[in-house]
Amino acid sequence: MATIRLESITKRFGPITALDDVSFEVADGEFFAILGPPGAGKTTTLRTIIGLERPEQGDVYLDDDRVTDAWPGDRDMSIVFQNLALYPDKTVYNNLAFPLKQRKVAKDEIKNRVTQTAKVLHIEHLLKRKPGKLSGGERQRVALGRAIVRDPKAYLFDEPISALDALLRLEMRTELKRLQRELGRTLVYVTHDQVEAMSMADRILVLREGVVQQIDTPERVYHSPANRFVATVIGSPPMNFVPATIHLENGTLKAAHTEFAITTPAPQTDQLKDGDTCWIGIRPEDVRIETTGEEGMKATVYVTEPLGGETVVDLQFGDRVLKVLAPPTLKLKQDQPVRAFLDHKRVHLFTEAGDAVVSAAGDDVFDVTVTQTS
């Protein structure tokens, strides 16, 4: 059992506020990701949880016990950093055994636990080797092994796979998720890579400049982003944004761009007023391209980027270029005129400041009409 709770944590380094009133709770057995760009405060959050940083304000709770003043060693959590620290002169076995020896665990028990950990991570055949003789992926597994060998209350991982090759990262992503499910332990996972957070975590905390932006499931942060920042960080290629002007009339809201306009029943909010500037947010997969016909919106192909399984098409609408996902079977040429169709049940609206007003994807479905402006 381990729940982790942070209450109104503020952490300053001199004039810089690294964490600004950060609160969240990680449930027992949850895979919880903290996602954000460099400098967002992710690592500081992790270091605060384990006790390597002391916050100016707020408290850290472990299973409802206040541990804000407890030593890291007394919090019974283990941490894995991006730069793996393995002892180069010790064998894999002794690297794994070390945290247990330090805690004066009996020799038989150490052997048991090391063997079991090696089995879970598929490194049984490496136990006699030294780190210098291992590949990057194998070393990473040993580092993970050192974290789980001692059966702590919770694991804290700081970008543990971001230094690995792309292929290995794909493999490790799946393995980490399986491992966490098998162990059933609380895991807080820090990353700047949205794919890692989305694919592995039960819930994601999106952090920006020390401020929590959203805490939600992968589905919710993707389909109902709290603001423009979250919408940009989650998804690849990222959401497209088009500036538009709001016209409110007879219970309908019209957001007009120079090239096209979308009309919806007016949302119950006072965040958007007549004449306001707003952003229309469009996910790359929510636009369909047709090469013939007169319907839909006029666009031209700016660039095509084949990825194999799908193609990213950069479509030019007036002075804007939107990234759109198309099937690889659709063959397009640069500067070819095409017609684009917006999925009328999947459009997002944001205020000029970037707050989400409407996310017509997922639950709060509404019907959007798309018209050509000129």
Partner 1 sequence: MAKITLDNLTKHFGDLHAVEGLNVDVPHGSFTALLGPSGCGKTTTMNMISGLEQPTAGEIYFDEFPITKLEPGNRNVGFVFQNYAIFTHMTVYENLAFGLRVKKKDKLAKADLDKRVRSVADTVGLSAALDRNASRLSVNDMQKVALGRSMIVEPAIFLLDEPFSNLDSAFRAYMRTELKRIQHEIGQTMVYVTHDQVEAMSMADKIAVMDLGVLQQYATPDELYNKPANRFVANFIGSVLNNFLPATYKTANGTAAALHLAIDGSRSIDVSDRKAAIEGRTGTGSLSVSVRPERTRIVAPDAEEATIPARVILVEPLGAKDVVHMESGGIDVRTLSQPSARPRIGDNVGLAFDEAAVHVFDDDTGLALR
Binder of partner 1 out of 12, 129, 153, 177 (CB under 8 A): 177
- Tell me: does residue 235 bind partner 1 (CB under 8 A): yes
- Tell me: does residue 334 bind partner 1 (CB under 8 A): yes
- Tell me: does residue 328 bind partner 1 (CB under 8 A): yes
Q: Helix 166-183 to helix 107-120 angle, to the nearest 10 degrees? A: 130
Taking a C-beta distance cutoff of 8 angstroms, is the pair 45, 33 a contact?
no
Taking a C-beta distance cutoff of 8 angstroms, is the pair 173, 179 a contact?
no
d(CA 46, CA 117): 24
Of the candidate spans 138-146, 177-185, 257-265, 267-275, the one that interacts with partner 1 by CB under 8 A turns out to be 177-185
Q: For tokens 């064998």, what's the residue?
A: 91
Q: For tokens 């402006």, what's the residue?
A: 373
Least distance from partner 1 to the Cβ atom of residue 285, Å:
4
Least distance from partner 1 to the Cβ atom of residue 82, Å:
17
Of the candidate spans 61-69, 227-235, 243-251, 364-372, the one that interacts with partner 1 by CB under 8 A turns out to be 227-235
d(CA 29, CA 258): 50
- Tell me: does residue 218 bind partner 1 (CB under 8 A): yes
d(CA 177, CA 263): 42
- Tell me: does residue 111 bind partner 1 (CB under 8 A): no
Taking a C-beta distance cutoff of 8 angstroms, is the pair 189, 34 a contact?
yes
Whole-Å CA distances, 1 to 28, 63, 249: 6, 7, 55
Residue 83 or 374: the one with the smaller Cβ distance to partner 1 is 83
- Tell me: does residue 249 bind partner 1 (CB under 8 A): no
Whole-Å CA distances, 293 to 39, 107, 152: 48, 76, 63
Bridge partners, 325 (sequence order):
312
Q: For tokens 């974290």, what's the residue?
A: 147
- Tell me: does residue 307 bind partner 1 (CB under 8 A): yes
Least distance from partner 1 to the Cβ atom of residue 134, Å:
16
Number of residues that bind partner 1 (CB under 8 A): 42
Least distance from partner 1 to the Cβ atom of residue 81, Å:
21
- Tell me: does residue 170 bind partner 1 (CB under 8 A): yes
- Tell me: does residue 29 bind partner 1 (CB under 8 A): no
Q: Which of these, 168, 162, 176, lies nearest to 137 by C-alpha position?
A: 168
d(CA 55, CA 323): 42
Binder of partner 1 out of 25, 74, 305, 352 (CB under 8 A): 305
Give me the residues that bind partner 1 (CB under 8 A), please: 37, 165-167, 170-171, 173-174, 177-178, 181, 195, 198-200, 218-219, 222-223, 232, 234-238, 283-285, 302-303, 305-309, 312, 314, 321, 323, 325, 328, 334
